[in-house]
Every structure is written in C-alpha cells, then in structure tokens.
A and B are shown apart, each in its own frame.
Chain A
C-alpha cells in the first residue's frame, strides 16, 4: 500500500504585507508550520529605469540612481557617476573624491539604521525602530544641508560635485560621527543582549557560503556566511584604497551573523568618515574640463566661451568614446554595478543596473527551506531587501 502523502498547504504572503519591506509577493508551501517550498514573485515595482536611461543623456540620468535604490542614495549616485567617469577616462578632483566617500559612508550608516529599525519592528522591538529612524533623520539633515534634498539628491556630477560642501559641514559630520559610536553601542546592548532578539535570529535562515556564492550573493549577506568579498577592498574605487578599515565577517551564516556584520560595518563607516574628515583637501570640486563639466556660474557673465560650453553641454550633452565599462560599488546591500555601453553619441546605448538585492533575494528559498513560517519574516528582514532595487 502506498504511503499517504503529507498534505501541503499553499499560502500567499504579500505583495501588500508590512514584513516584506515593499511589494514582494511570496508563495509558500507549508507542511504544518514547516516551509517546503518558496516562490518569490517580483516585478510589482518595475518601472523600466534601464529603458528610461537609454533614452536620456548621460547628464540627465544622474537623477535616476537614487530613485532605484532609495535607502543608500549617495552610494547609488556614486556608482553611476563613476561608471560615466570610467567611460570618459577622467578622475574628479581630490576634494570631490573625499567628499563623495564621506557622503557614501553616511549613506551606508543611514541605510543600516533602516535595516536595524525595520528588523527590530519585525520581531516586535518597536522602540528600536523609533531610535534608529531618529538617528537616520540626523544624517538626512546633513544630506539636506549639502544638496537641498533629504533623499533624491542629484548632487554628484560627472567629474565632481554640483557645488562645494556648505559651511559648517565638517563640524556637523564630526559631531554625528563622534556620537555614532555611543549610539551603536546602545543598540548593541538593546538588541545583541536581548534574549528574544537572539532566539528569533540565531540559527535562523542559514545561508551556507557555497549557496551564497552559487546565487551570486554579495554584501553583508555573503560576508555573514564568512566569505571575504568587499568591492571597496577587492576592486577599490573612488579613492577607497587610501582608507583603513576592516571587513567584518560572520561564521554561521544565520540572520544573527548578518545583523552583527551590519553593526560592525556602521562602526567601520564611522572610522572611514573620521579619517576622511581629517584629510579633506581644499581646492575645486569639479573638473576644469569644459567639454565634460559645466563652467562655474560666475564665469557665465564674463566669458562668451563659457556660455557656449554651457549651452552645448546642456542642449546636447557630452559625447564619451565608444566602448563599454562596468563600475561597481559596495552598497549596503552588496555589489551595485552600472554597465554602460556607449556608441559615441550623447546617450548610452545600453544601461544595465546590476542590483545586489536581485541576486540576494534569489537565495531566499534556500534560506527558509525546512524552517518555520514565522522565520520567513526574519529571513526577509536579514536580506535587507529594497524592492525598488530588485525590480528597477
């Protein structure tokens, strides 16, 4: 007589669900409370960014990256701008490079704070959410001061920055960076020593290094499994090779290790910010090449040549040589890359956004297999998904 097959139950989670951090839909197959199958269904937030970018000039495209991945905005802008600069074969002035690193690391801290807060609220530590978002708000205030926008900055330019850093910037950043150490320690004692937090995270959603590599996972998800790969160290970009910092690694590959990696990354970001503040050089923040960067505003009233350059750049845009480049940065979610193909005209003929979370999310079924349904929430939170980045 054949064995009776165990009954499985298929349930739907999302796309409108507070624990999916956006519009992610999961089809879960359950045996009792145990998950035997997971199918993520994505695309609800697809907006065709790649197509849009292929139909605009290089300069117009600066506004898109921050909208693709809206939690680590300055890192996103940096990735795109670096790709165009690589295509053109130029390097921005030192002041712009260091300023970009300060802003990128602040973005990383802001993004990790959102991860921490939203993970905390997912396992019902709702006070953690409030504290984290309050701290993030202070960082966003600095972004506001620098670019006029809290999130969608459009502050980087091909060949530098839109304008110089505002007065009082260094003092504000230093104040926040100094205070950050104490804040992270506070979260550490609030969560790392919290029995419920540990019970919910330890040994949950384990990702082996083999699986992580097979799915192309990057960022804290990969490093939580103990694989040492950080784009800032492996393929240094934008001047990161001049800074000292460590790459924290996990051992067990569970949600708790990924949390610890991100906590340590915030401390390392603080280290980079303090080093960068100490060596922030003076000088211009934009290249002096009139074929690439807009002339300074003041020159327009004095020089006819500057007006012509301004007109050509605005009405037509710059023309990089034909070729293709891939520029990657380490975003809070992993390797974020822009692959640009130029045919020599004023528009990229192909823009490919390599999204870290797209690959990371693919490992979700392997992570939650044979786990409990309640742990799916923890698994998604520990991946730190941004659906705008997944769906583009």
Chain B
C-alpha cells in the first residue's frame, strides 16, 4: 500500500455500494463515509494488505447549528511506509450514535469515552461508556458549541465575571 490514494482505491473496490466523498487539503486526504457504514469501512481499512494502520486519534467536531451536526473523525496512521488517512462520518444532532471501534483497536476505548464525555455522542458496543475527564455528575457536554464558556463566580464583591474570549470578538471569514 503506498499512499492515502491507494487506501481510497481499496475502499472503493472492497465496498462497492459505499458512498465516498474524498477531499484533499494541504496534502491531507479525508474520506467522508456514511455513518452507518463507517465501521465496515474502517474494518476494511484495518484488514487491508500491505499496512497495519494504527488508530492515532479519534475525535469529533460540532458544526452547530449546521446539520448533520456532528462529525466523528478517525485518524489512521500506517508506520511503514508512512501513510496518514482521515476518515469522517457525519451524524445528526438528535440521534448521535456510532458503532464502536474498540473491537478493531482497543485503544479506541478511552478516545470514545472522551468523545462521549465532551460531545455526548454514544458508541454502540463500547464496553463501558462513562465520562472520563469530567466529573461523573457533570451536566452537559462541554465541547458542544451550545455549551457556553463562562467564568466561575468569585466570592469578593465588585467583580462582574467576564468571559475573556470576548476581548477579541469573532470576525467573519475572509477571502
């Protein structure tokens, strides 16, 4: 297997009815697959001959208020020859459920727990989907865009909590 292009070709060959969307930006290849077939696609990639991909990272993006709201991002790395491939699956906001890949890579365990903790995306088939970084009794999922960033109230008087991030307001895209 040489390069991310070969991985994409293999996916096309193995899963003929798969609806692939391939993008490239700054030399990084991203494959967007339908959420329902993401597990199959990842399994096909893991079992592909010529490389043993490692799950380097698993995370999510909240595109609120756009729909489908969530993107689950898998970053696969082949060590020799060096290949990187990003696989993405889009999920709607109401039923954010993915198939767990802990069966393919045991290291996905904590990564999926973190995505659950931070975004509230559930992973079917995960051996113990609980919060990992936030306290167990925490309400809400902090990395969602509708979860506000606030300053903790302080005890002394005459202080109004300010959100430091409003010092430089967000500006619209350019170019």
- Give A residues with C-beta under 8 Å from B: 42-43, 46, 48, 50-52, 54-57, 60, 86-87, 89, 213-218, 227-229, 234-235, 315-317, 319, 321-326, 328, 335, 337, 339, 341, 343-347, 349-350, 352, 354, 358-359, 362, 391-392
Other than the known A87-B26, A362-B110, what 12 A-B pairs have Cβ atoms closer than 8 Å?
A46-B133, A51-B149, A56-B164, A60-B168, A215-B105, A229-B80, A316-B168, A326-B75, A328-B56, A339-B59, A345-B172, A347-B170
Quick check: A335 and B171 within 8 Å, CB to CB? no
Most chain-A Cβ atoms within 10 A of its Cβ — which of B57, B105, B149, B174?
B57
Query: What's the Cα separation between A198 and B146 when bound, in Å?
Result: 53
- Which one of A227, A322, A339, A343 lies within 8 Å of B57 (CB-CB)? A339
Quick check: A344 and B174 within 8 Å, CB to CB? yes
Query: What's the Cα separation between A129 and B108 when bound, in Å?
Result: 36
Nearest first, the 3 closest Cβ-Cβ pairs linking A and B are: A344-B173, A55-B165, A234-B82
CB interface residues, B 35-69, toward A, < 8 Å: 52, 54-57, 59, 61-62
Query: What does the 1/0 interface line of B102-141 toward A look like (CB < 8 Å)?
Result: 0001110111001000100000000000011111000000
Contacts of A362 in B (CB 8 A): 107, 109-110
Q: How large is the interface on B (under 10, 10 to 19, 20 to 34, 35 or more residues)?
A: 35 or more
Check B90 for interface membership: any CB of A closer than 8 A: no
Quick check: B171 and A319 within 8 Å, CB to CB? yes
Query: What's the Cα separation between A43 and B118 when bound, in Å?
Result: 12
Minimum Cβ distance to chain A for residue B45 (Å): 15
Check B21 for interface membership: any CB of A closer than 8 A: no
Minimum Cβ distance to chain A for residue B12 (Å): 22
Minimal Cβ-Cβ distance residue in A for B117: A43
Minimal Cβ-Cβ distance residue in B for A314: B168
Minimal Cβ-Cβ distance residue in A for B175: A321
Contacts of B1 in A (CB 8 A): none
- Which one of A89, A321, A326 lies within 8 Å of B86 (CB-CB)? A326
Contacts of B163 in A (CB 8 A): 55
Check B156 for interface membership: any CB of A closer than 8 A: no
Q: A341-B61, A352-B57 are in contact. Are A323 and B168 (CB under 8 A)?
A: no
Instruction: Pick 22 A–B contacts, CB within 8 A, sort by A.
Output: A42-B132, A48-B142, A50-B118, A87-B26, A213-B52, A214-B106, A235-B84, A317-B168, A319-B171, A319-B173, A319-B174, A324-B25, A325-B25, A326-B28, A337-B57, A339-B57, A344-B172, A345-B171, A346-B171, A350-B61, A354-B56, A358-B114
Query: What's the Cα separation between A82 and B22 when bound, in Å?
Result: 24
Quick check: B54 and A216 within 8 Å, CB to CB? yes
Contacts of B105 in A (CB 8 A): 214-216
Contacts of B174 in A (CB 8 A): 319, 344
Minimal Cβ-Cβ distance residue in A for B136: A43
Query: What's the Cα separation between A228 and B149 when bound, in Å?
Result: 42
Minimum Cβ distance to chain A for residue B112 (Å): 12
- Which one of B84, B107, B143 lies within 8 Å of A214 (CB-CB)? B107
Query: What's the Cα separation between A289 and B118 when bound, in Å?
Result: 37
Quick check: B26 and A323 within 8 Å, CB to CB? yes
Query: What's the Cα separation between A328 and B173 when bound, in Å?
Result: 26
Quick check: A215 and B106 within 8 Å, CB to CB? yes
Most chain-A Cβ atoms within 10 A of its Cβ — which of B54, B59, B171?
B54
Query: What's the Cα separation between A286 and B134 when bound, in Å?
Result: 40
Contacts of B28 in A (CB 8 A): 324-326
Q: A213-B52, A235-B84, A325-B28 are in contact. Are A319 and B175 (CB under 8 A)?
A: yes
Minimum Cβ distance to chain B for residue A101 (Å): 20
CB interface residues, B 83-106, toward A, < 8 Å: 84, 86, 105-106
CB interface residues, B 1-51, toward A, < 8 Å: 25-26, 28, 30
Minimal Cβ-Cβ distance residue in A for B53: A213
Query: What's the Cα separation between A229 and B133 when bound, in Å?
Result: 28
Contacts of A43 in B (CB 8 A): 131-135
Query: What's the Cα separation between A381 and B143 when bound, in Å?
Result: 31
Minimum Cβ distance to chain A for residue B145 (Å): 8
Q: A43-B134, A50-B143 are in contact. Are A324 and B57 (CB under 8 A)?
A: no
Minimal Cβ-Cβ distance residue in B for A236: B82
Quick check: B107 and A216 within 8 Å, CB to CB? yes
Query: What's the Cα separation between A42 and B114 when bound, in Å?
Result: 11
Query: What's the Cα separation between A227 and B75 when bound, in Å?
Result: 19
